[in-house]
Amino acid sequence: MKKIGIIGGGAMGSGIAQVFAQSGHSVVLYDTNKEALDRSKQNLAKTFEKLVAKEKYTAEKAQEIQNKIEYADSLTAFASIDLMIEAIIENLDIKKSVFKQVEEIVSDECILASNTSSLSIASIASACSKPERVIGIHFFNPAPLMALVEIIPAVQTREGLADEVKALIQSVGKLPVITKDTPGFIVNRVARPFYSESIRLLEEGVADAETIDFAMTSVGGFRMGPFELMDFIGHDVNYRVTESVFESFFYDPRFKPSFSQKRLFEAGYYGRKSGRGFYNYAEGVEKKAPSQDQALLEKIYKRVLVMLINEAADALFLNIANREDLDTAMTKGVNYPKGLLKWADEYGLEKVQDDLDELYNYYHEDRYRLSPIIRNYVKENKTFY
């Protein structure tokens, strides 16, 4: 595969274009909006100025890489590409329409991929006359810096294509994992409790956002607390993904969104980008000091952790991915301090079982149901590793 076509001149599309150009591929970056293309070109030039200043590249090499990217406002530029990656709005109807258009222009051998973070690849593929060449290739933002790439074959995807794409992604210096075409794939599925259970603790009045964030960073070792992270991602993105995963899982209570985040979304309080989310980012406003109560901090950390472990274990139980890819996805995709299945072994599977059973017995809610694989492993005295 030598020529890559990218649809979408936003941050994600531009980042993916940079990844492939840096690895020697010719890239065509397409967007219907010429301003978006101009902005992408300018931003890339600034990025390489910084990389040259840091002596990562010579000026000549930086220019050579930039010259590998062609900026196109017509899809006809895709006539000779080998791989198309779509990186546009998370709207299924729009994506299906785009794939249908692209298929009329590219060669019969061209692979068609979506960078969707949670939508069904099978549904996108259904819009194509050759659905066997459609696959998911999900980069994480910012694409040039994040190592993880989720590869998602659909039920229609031809046998062997996932391995071909995996080899390509490895060749551009990324770390690919293969996952089933289920809502949220690995990362956006397994990470849900980090947000949802933290919000639940807030709503119940167990602790404030500052204390929950502090518990997860100081005791859990996470780089960012859940409320800081949601505000950073943006509630327009995070809430919509939560809502999409919930709906796609046939309204399984484990993935139920919260009214707290919905109200922020409705108010336009998207987080850092809007100046207000769970925190107020106005000038001069300082966060409250978190509680230093170690028993409380430990309680928060353990409750969120066992929920995360349970979700990772259930993904393994349902063969969404193998244990290595599940753990790699969480350490490289969202920078968790440890893979959750390894963490489960360290924490103790019997303790995970007891903690979740206690939550279930208290609330009698399906969100706290224990994955059968944990109960089975406890009975058989087995561990994940």
25 is an active site residue: no
pLDDT given at position 244? 87
* Helix H or strand E encompassing 85: strand 83-86
Q: Point out the catalytic residue in the list 138, 228, 311, 371.
A: 138
Q: Is the peptide bond prior to 142 cis by the omega test (within 30 degrees of 0)?
A: yes
pLDDT in tens, the chain (385 residues): 689 999 999 999 999 999 999 999 999 999 999 999 999 999 999 999 999 999 999 999 999 999 999 999 999 999 999 999 999 998 999 999 999 999 999 999 999 999 998 899 999 999 999 999 999 999 998 999 999 999 999 999 999 999 999 999 999 999 999 999 999 999 999 999 999 999 999 999 999 999 999 999 999 999 999 999 999 999 998 998 899 889 999 999 999 999 999 999 999 999 999 999 999 999 999 999 999 999 999 999 999 999 999 999 999 999 999 999 999 999 999 999 999 999 999 999 999 999 999 999 999 999 999 999 999 999 999 999 9
Q: How far apart are CA 152 and CA 135, in angstroms?
A: 6
pTM listed for this prediction: 0.94
For 214-258, give the DSSP string.
HIIIIIS--SS-HHHHHHHH-HHHHHHHHHHHHHHTTT-GGG---
Residue from 86, 114, 118, 150 carrying the catalytic annotation: 150
Residue 280 annotated to the active site: no
Q: Are 123 and 149 in contact (CB under 8 A)?
A: no
Calculate what percentage of the chain has a pLDDT beyond 90.
97
Note the pLDDT of residue 208: 98
Map out the domains of the chain with their CATH numbers: 3-178 (3.40.50.720), 186-380 (1.10.1040.50)
pLDDT tens profile 128-162: 999 999 999 999 989 999 999 999 999 999 999 99
Q: Which residue has the tokens 């968790």?
A: 336
CB atoms within 10 A of CB 190: 29
CA distance 262 to 65: 43
pLDDT at 241: 87
The two tokens of residue 249 are: 């899982």
346 is catalytic: no
* Amino acid symbol at 332: K
Question: Of 117, 118, 198, 238, which is the active-site residue?
Answer: 117
Query: Is 138 a known active-site residue?
Result: yes
Residue of 188, 196, 238, 371 with catalytic role: 188
- Which residues lie below 8 Å from residue 252, measured CB to CB, with a gap of 6+? 246, 366
Q: Are strands 134-139 and 148-153 parallel, antiparallel or unpaired?
A: antiparallel
